[in-house]
Chain A
Amino acid sequence: MAEEVSSQMNSLSISETNPSSSATISLVSGDDIVFKVEPTIAKEMETVQSFIDETDGKITTIPLPNISSHDLPYVIEYCEKSIAGKITKEFEAEFVKKLNNEEVKELFLAANYLNIKKLLDFLSQVIADRIANKSVEYVRRYFGIENDFTPEEEAKLREELAWTFTGVDPDDEDEN
């Protein structure tokens, strides 16, 4: 996994060593790594693009404090494929295979933060697939939700829904 990521990073020419390409946009991850991307990539990220537009393109360095240097390459990779019109089922299957539950969640938050609709739709489906047919406890753990029902309240709710509780898969091990 580490090797894959670093090879991606190389291909994206991270670092500040290339000041000549002034047209590129620099995205700064939360841990202060600079990713230089083409303006077309930034266009896919609505949040970034609207910021560029509002400053009339004067600012080309954009800090993304909520996104780590671990997650940002995945986002950029997806945007690149999207621009090239090469988002296929095969690509998406390969893409998601590389991601554990925690990474899916982080990418989902990143896609939401950056407002990348296609990635958000795709990851929504991934999350739905991963919580489908799982117990309520699993869904709580997955989303990091604390159960704020009293045992009595929860028991009553379950009783009301008893007829829908059939065919639930056993929980997977959390991959955290």
Chain B
Amino acid sequence: MIHSSSSQEYSETSMEESPDRLTNLSDCVLLPIKICGIQWKNLRKQLPTRSLTSSPPDPKEDRLSNLPDCILLHILSLLNIKEAIHTCIVSKRWRNLWKHLPSLSLSSSDFPSIEGFTKFVSQILSQRDASTSLHALKLDSKILIKQPGLFERILKYAVSHNIQHLQIVGNHDFELFRSCFASCHTLTSLSVFNIFPHQEVIFSKYLNFPALRSLHISNVIFPDGDDPFSAFPKLNTLTIAHFQILGEQNLSITSATLLELTIQSYSVLHKIKLSTPNLCTISLIGFPFQILSGSHLTSVKHVYIDTKKCLLDNFVKPLLGNLVKPLSDLRSWFLELTNIKSLTISTYTLQVLSLVPDLLKVEFPSLCNLKLLNIEMKPAADRLSNKLIDTKLILDYLLQNSPSAKVRFIKFAPKRNIDYLAKIVSTRIRIGAGGSVRHFFWQDEQ
């Protein structure tokens, strides 16, 4: 970016001239300059731009094109990368604009051949402005596994340009991550979505991400007894989805910094051991009946459980009897979670629980600190609503030892945020003194 000393003088001068006089209403005529000054100052903090050299408030028809580069780059970043590059023909000012894009999204599906994609990526990397950081990169490619050279070049470019957020969709090789990221102190979030469910890759336990705060991985294989996240000193948020564990299916998750853990799994055989003294939120999605164990889980405040709808399908129902054992295990696990304040379960989960035979005979642990039971309304809840009366029993069952808990209905949010409370849109069920459900209604504000 080109700094403009003259424009800085312009706005700073206007800032200094006005303050005292502005308290007088008769000086309101100065306000436009004042407000302009604040505005430009803010923008200059974000990104120094060439456009500040252009003369201030121009005739209306030119104002949009006189916006600072950072604003135009924001719009360009929302376009397909090819279209963003096309804008270089618009005018001389725009010629090099795209080369300063701080985020890139590259998808091989936009190209008919591997060669085309390789050439395209090579051009982008060599033409980009070398001094502009690449803060965010999304790579969507089925072919990267076949092009380790290209993949490595992209990763190394990203690391050398201060990459912060990296998202990879497609097949990949974690070995390359090891060589590229071991000394990367800028990468804070990494998502790796393997889109080939039957081509899982082994998650290397020798990975090291010094600055990583958020990790999302899917379709990976963990070796038996692995403890793969212990070397991530800043990890706060971890999501593992659709994974396999080899051998006896033991997996350890050890992290002193982990605050939020999401496990999405369709196996009832995983045995996951948590050593996470600061964990605050646990989410279990899928068939949430893995055998979980852990110690010192008193830090956990929020638990979210969402079973998948397919558990309600007829062919699965006969299997539900087998869930009593895992549920008993879940119960022993809940015994560790004496401090949880909110439990959020989806309507599907309620339905599944209501179909489990002899559930009510299983003793449920005492969640005496529970303040809130959220029921997440799933899209198909209407179809199932005639059965919701069954869930009244389940609610009573879940809340039998939680005298101060309130029940609320929350709207299903496809991309769930951890802040459950913010998503509450509906009214509550009133819980009587004995914890039984007296009133049962909800309304949808939308």
Contact = CB atoms under 8 A, between A and B. Distances in A.
Contact of B79 (A54, A55, A128, A158): A128
B1 interface: no
Given A105-B64, A131-B79, A161-B85, A55 B35 contact: no
A145 B62 CA distance: 7
A64 B38 CA distance: 13
A136 B78 CA distance: 16
A112 B89 contact: no
B2 to A, nearest CB: 17
Given A47-B35, A66-B32, A144-B64, A136 B75 contact: no
Given A51-B35, A161-B85, A164-B85, A144 B91 contact: no
B83 A125 contact: no
Contacts of B61: 144
Contacts of A131: 75, 79, 83
Nearest to B67: A112
A164 B82 contact: yes
B79 A161 contact: no
Nearest to A128: B78
Contacts of B62: 144
B55 interface: no
Interface stretch (B22-30, B131-139, B141-149, B376-384): B22-30
A2 to B, nearest CB: 21
Contact of A140 (B76, B82, B90): B90
B79 A132 contact: yes
Contacts of B31: 51, 62-63, 65
Interface residues of B, number: 43
Contacts of A109: 63-64, 67
Nearest to A157: B89
A113 B23 contact: no
Nearest to A167: B82
A120 B64 CA distance: 13
B28 A161 contact: no
B88 A161 contact: yes
A66 B57 contact: yes
Interface in B221-256: none
Contacts of A64: 35
A148 interface: yes
B446 interface: yes
A136 B92 contact: no
A14 interface: no
Contacts of A46: 42
A24 interface: no
B86 A161 contact: yes
A127 B236 CA distance: 35
Interface in B44-68: 57, 61-65, 67
Given A124-B75, A145-B65, A115 B39 contact: yes
Contacts of A115: 39, 42
Contacts of B119: 163
Contacts of A132: 79-80, 83
Nearest to B92: A148
Interface string B2-33: 00000000000000000100110100100110
B23 A146 contact: no
Nearest to B35: A47
Nearest to B94: A145
A50 to B, nearest CB: 6
A12 B392 CA distance: 45
Contacts of B90: 136, 139-140, 143, 145, 147
Contacts of A157: 88-89, 95
B440 to A, nearest CB: 26
A145 B95 CA distance: 13
Given A140-B91, A161-B86, A63 B78 contact: no
Contacts of A113: 35, 39
A165 B65 contact: no
Given A46-B42, A66-B57, A112 B35 contact: no
Interface of B: 19, 22-23, 25, 28, 31-32, 34-35, 38-39, 42, 57, 61-65, 67, 71, 74-76, 78-80, 82-83, 85-95, 116, 119-120, 446
16 contacts: A47-B38, A51-B38, A59-B22, A61-B25, A63-B31, A63-B32, A109-B64, A115-B42, A131-B75, A136-B90, A145-B93, A146-B91, A147-B91, A157-B88, A163-B120, A164-B86
Given A47-B35, A55-B23, 16 more contacts: A51-B34, A55-B22, A62-B31, A63-B28, A88-B446, A112-B67, A120-B74, A127-B75, A128-B78, A132-B83, A133-B80, A136-B87, A144-B64, A145-B65, A149-B89, A163-B120
